[in-house]
Structure formats: structure tokens, C-alpha cells
Amino acid sequence: MDKLKTLSYYVLHLLIFLLPFEERLVPPFLVLFALTNLLGTNWSLRKKLFKKRALYISAFSAIYLIYALGLIHTSNMEDGLFDMEVKLSLFLVPWVLLTTDVVNKYTVYSFLHSFIVGIIVASTIDLIIAFYGFELTGDFGIFYYQYLSFYLHPTYFAMYINLAIASVFVLIFHHREEPKWWQFVLLFFLSLMVFQLSSRTGIITLFLLYLYGLIYLIINRINLRKSLYFTLGVIVLVTSLAYLTSQYTEMQREVNADDQESSFGVRLSMWKSSKTLVFDHFFFGVGTGDVNDELQKQFASDGIKRAVRDNLNLHNQFLQTQVAVGVFGSLSLVVMLVLPLWPSIRRGRFFYPLFFVVLGINFLTESVLKTQAGVVFYAVMNSVIFFTYEIATNQKKAEP
């Protein structure tokens, strides 16, 4: 049993490392982790941990049950069952991860390191591919947006990178060890990647993360002059790069596009269009499997051509959930995001609030829980980051 538990520990490290890579690699390792952990963890311990964390486990997984209930009044059962398959991690991961001691207040930093390393490796591979493409074509556009993100949609990859940046801030400000010079170099590299991905949501999130870093330095009056210089230096360099790259990026993304056809213009039109469905199906939604069909009908009725042509979702997780499963789903979504904030803030552990910022901003512009890249990212990292408010900074990390 101990060997299986140890195996599940390393499988989880590998799973977290693989998150920013090819999506098809993730499910097998997620299943392997669940099996090894279920078989390797003592059930008396699992029962004890469940009693301790029942509120959080229920809050994190309740939305999946509400989507399951949404199948009752669904006409398109094929889409509904597929959506339940995509969202399965929302239910499975909290029940497994929060009822085991594989992740705990001592090991959580090691999992954050695995995530950061995965982001670094994925970013490096993307840059190598981009350089190779540039050698063949001579086109600088290869270093921007979807051409730079080989594995994931650029907005999702930017979300992943921003969480890695938040992790580095946690290591700098909230870890008992002194900051290392490579952490500031890493901040610059990851920040540059966010700008090159040209995701507006990603850049806004990045700005807020740096704002947090500066405010933390000022309020706490940390005697880390070098840290402040490095942080300010990173901001100056990144801001300069942002100005230079934004001109080219905007030209590429908005050329020959009017307001209705631009990315942001279409989002606004879709959000306005969804109001009819929100009010007509306020309590129970249109059904888990019918949400896409009903949205496309509404978009067609309102003349949003690009949304119909590209079969777009609402690009807003709050509205997407409301339309699909109604107000009870929306309340569940808000609770699972907000509930962990209080214990984190009360204990002075600010990583969960940073995770909330990264996730919340992306929820405003993307239907994150509509895709595997979003669902697994939230389910796994949310459950891991849950432990950061329990971190004992005066003790060394230990492995199982």
C-alpha cells in the first residue's frame, strides 16, 4: 500500500508537469493517479480527511452534480453526456485529492515546482518550434498568438503561465527561503511569453499580479532592496516589450475587421444576446446538452454571423453556466470559487486569492469549464492550491 501511495505521489507530479502539453496525455495520467491513490491510501485516513474537509469537497464537486441534473430536461443527450465526460474531473479530483495526504502543507511546494517546470519546458518547446518556423518563412508573426502556442489555445496557455508567475511570487514573498536571482529571470521570461501570446485577458491578469507584488513589497516594507529593484526592472522591461509587440499584434488581429467581427466585439454581442435565454430559463437553464443548440439559435436570430459560423460558446463561464443549468449552477460556481478565499486570507496565505484572480478574470472572457484544458487545470490546481493556507513555513517539506 505504501508503494502505491508513493507511486501516486510521483504520478501526480508527472500529471501536473504535463498540464501545459498535449491534452491527450493528461487523462491517462489522471486515471492512473486516481487508481494508485485510491488503492494506496488507507481508508480510515481517507474517511478522517473527508470529515475534516467535507465542506470544501462538496463545494468543489457540487457543480458537476448540478450539470448531471441538467440532463433530466436535455433533448440533445449526446452533447450532454459528452459535456459530463469533459467535466468529470470536477467531481473526481476533489474527492480523491482532498481525502489523501499525498498533497499536504509540506509537499505542496514541490508540486508547484513541477507545474512551473512544466510551463518552462512547454514554453521553451514552443519557442524552438517558432524559431524553426521563422527560419523557414522569415515571418515574425510566428512568434505571436496561436502560432506560438503549439499545445494549447493561447488564452489558455497564458492562463497557465500566469498561474506559474503567481507561483513564483509565492516562492519569493511567502516562502521561508530568501529569493533567488533565477526567480526574477523566470518572471521576465514567463511575462514575455504572456505578451507574445497576445491574449488581452492574459495581459490584464499579468498586470494585476505585478500590482500585487508591488503592493506587497510596499505594505510589508520588506528589506529586500535587490528584490524591489529586480521586480521594478522586470516591469520596465516587460512594459517596453509590450509596447513594441502590441503594434504588430493589433495589426495582425484586427486587420480588415469591423467592431462586430473583432474578437471583443463578438463577445459583447454574444453576451447581450444571451440575456433572452438567461431570463427565459432562469431557474433551471436550457439543459446540459442543449446549451450549444439554444445559443446558436439565439445568435442566428440576433444576426451574430461569426458566432454562428464558428459555432462559438459564450466565452464567459458565468453566463455559460447560467444558460446551461440556471441559477443553482451559477450559485454553485460562485461558491466553489469564493469559499476557499476566507481561510486563505485569514491565515495570511495569499496564493489562493492569486489563483482566484487568474481564474476569475479568465472566467469573464472564456467558458473555461467547457474544455478539458480548462476543467483539468481548475480541478487539479484548485485542489493542490487548497493546501497552501496550511503551509507551515517554519518546517521543512517532507515527502511521503
Please state, as a whole number, how many other Cβ atoms lie within 10 Å of the Cβ of residue 248. Answer: 14
65 within 8 A of 92, measured Cβ to Cβ: no
Write down the mean pLDDT value for the chain.
Answer: 86
Does this model's pTM top 0.85? yes
Q: What mean pLDDT is predicted for residues 256-272?
A: 72
* DSSP class of 25: G
Question: Residue 334's pLDDT is what?
Answer: 96
Q: What ranges make up the beta strands (E) of 270-377?
A: none
Q: What is the mean pLDDT of residues 180-187?
A: 85
* Structure confidence at residue 399 (pLDDT): 42
> What digits encode the pLDDT tens for the residues 108-143?
889 999 999 999 999 999 999 999 988 888 877 788
pLDDT at 138: 81
**19 neighbors 374 (Cβ within 8 angstroms):** no
81 CB contacts (<8 Å, ≥6 apart)? Answer: 71, 289
Mean pLDDT over 202-223 rounds to: 79
Task: Give the whole-number percent of the chain exceeding pLDDT 70.
Answer: 85
Q: What is the pLDDT of residue 224?
A: 54
Whether residue 284 contacts residue 325, with contact meaning beta carbons closer than 8 Å, is answered with: yes
For residue 43, pLDDT over 80 is answered with yes
Q: Please give the average per-residue pLDDT across 262-286, as a whole number.
A: 93
What is residue 195's predicted lDDT score, i.e. its pLDDT?
86
- Distance separating alpha carbons of residues 358 and 365, to the nearest angstrom: 12
Q: Give me the pLDDT at residue 176, please.
A: 64
For 240-258, what is the mean pLDDT?
50
Query: Which grid coordinates belong to 381?
Result: 490546481
Return the C-alpha cell found at 201: 485577458
What percent of the chain is helix, strand and coil (3-state, nearest 5)? 75, 0, 25
Report d(CA 116, CA 161) in Å as an integer: 8
The string of pLDDT tens digits covering residues 47-56 is 999 999 999 9
79 has pLDDT over 90: yes
Average pLDDT over residues 330-340: 95
Count of CB atoms within 10 A of residue 348's CB?
10
Q: Smallest Cα–Cα separation from 352: which of 325, 378, 382, 322?
A: 382
- The pLDDT of residue 250: 53
Place 106 in a pLDDT band, splitting at 50, 70 and 90: confident
Residue of 126, 93, 82, 98 lying closest to 16 (CA atoms): 93
In the predicted structure, residue 389 carries a pLDDT above the cut 80: no
Whose cell is 459564450? That residue is 314
The full DSSP string for 263-292 is HHHHHHHHHHHTHHHHHHTTTT-S-TTTHH
Q: Which residue has the higher pLDDT, 86 or 188?
A: 86
